[in-house]
Amino acid sequence: MQAPWIDTHAHLYLTASYAMFRGHLHQEEVEQFFDYTAMALQRAEQQHDVVIMEQSLFQQARLKTKVRQAVDRAIENRTVQIYLQPLYGTQERRIIGAEVLARIYDEKLGLIRPDFFITAAERSGTITKIGEQVFEKTCLFLNEHPLQELGLKRLNVNLSPIQCRDIHMAERICRIAQHHHIPLRSFCFEITESALSYEARLQQNIDMLMAQGATISLDDFGTGYSNLMRVLKFPFEDVKLDMTFVRAYFDHTNKLLPAIIDGFQSFGVQITAEGVENKQMADTLTKLGCRILQGFYFAKPLPLDDFLHYLKTTTPKVSSTID
């Protein structure tokens, strides 16, 4: 293992991880054993040591299995819910849109954390079905509540990296929108940076969506291997700064935020800042040039009825003296 396996065109380095299982499997645990083993080997790789497969590890694997089953039930029963989190326009000084977020409530598990069910869906390959169900329910919402009546410019919809890898993704999105008679200009599609590695297929999907009037945003900038020039190869109208990147500036642990904002603005790309928690953050980010703000200072993700009520009752929360 210390030396590479040598082929004509490549040197291949192999590693090994070891997990030790002790005890007996109950009949109902057999189908979960692969999840159990995969989790143990993943931990062994991280720790560079042999992992003893203890009961606590099995409990984690059992939860993952239950979450995956809950995701399958939600897809089959079409019970994936959509929540909306407001987007505040700093120039308009009002709520101008919302991000559409998926939520799953299961009768057995209750409300499942998004990071749990999204990870499970990505591993099982069902994330595409969730994405399309969310988009269709968003179209149904706009049929009842058109953007113009809500006073909004757009809704932001997330596309997973796995969806972006699918060469027919944009075609299916367009078909759903056309079926419900919703123009694609009503949407901004958010793409995470990890999707940029599928450059040719992603560009083809982006071209089709933009040809129908949609806009494209880069989500969670600042969390991965962020590269300004790589991002600028794509026609992003907006770049959304991840909340950890934004909060690091206010915690005085990262001073790059103003330079990043200036850099994107010099190329005509507008900035959305996530994780806005208070008025000081909102005012400062507005002064730095962020065009859109999102966070708990304005509102948490809301069920549809609560979001409609929010739009009717909310007042601007950023000082009107900011130029």
pLDDT score at 7: 79
Mean pLDDT of the 211-227 span? 84
- Which residue, 127, 132, 202, is CA-closest to 162? 127
pLDDT score at 226: 61
pLDDT score at 323: 44
Q: Is the dihedral of CA 176, 178, 182, 183 positive or negative?
A: positive
Query: Which secondary structure element, helix H or strand E, spans residue 217, and what is its range?
Result: strand 215-221
Tell me the per-residue pLDDT of 95-108, one tens digit each, with 9 for 90 and over.
Answer: 999 999 999 999 99
Q: CA 181 → CA 83, 142, 173, 186, 208, distances in Å?
A: 21, 10, 12, 11, 17
Report which DSSP code applies to 242: P
Q: Angle, to 10 degrees, between the axis of helix 169-179 and the axis of helix 199-211?
A: 20
Q: CA 144 → CA 137, 138, 258, 304, 309, distances in Å?
A: 11, 10, 40, 11, 15
Residues 290, 273 contacting (CB under 8 angstroms): yes
**Which residues, 6 or more positions from 184, have their beta carbon under 8 angstroms from its beta carbon?**
173, 174, 177, 209, 212, 213, 214
pLDDT band at 306 (very low <50, low <70, confident <90, very high): very high
Q: Is the dihedral of CA 103, 69, 163, 33 positive or negative?
A: positive
- Which residue, 100, 94, 66, 98, is CA-closest to 81? 100
Percent of the chain with pLDDT over 70: 93
Torsion, CA 183, CA 184, CA 186, CA 187, rounded to 10: 160
- Token duo for residue 124: 């099982």
Mean pLDDT estimate for the chain: 89
Weakest-pLDDT range from 24-38, 91-105, 117-131, 267-281: 24-38
pLDDT score at 318: 60
pLDDT score at 25: 67
Hey, how many other C-beta atoms are within 10 angstroms of the C-beta on 156?
25
Residue 299, class by beta-carbon neighbours within 10 Å (0-12 exposed, 13-18 middle, 19+ buried)? buried
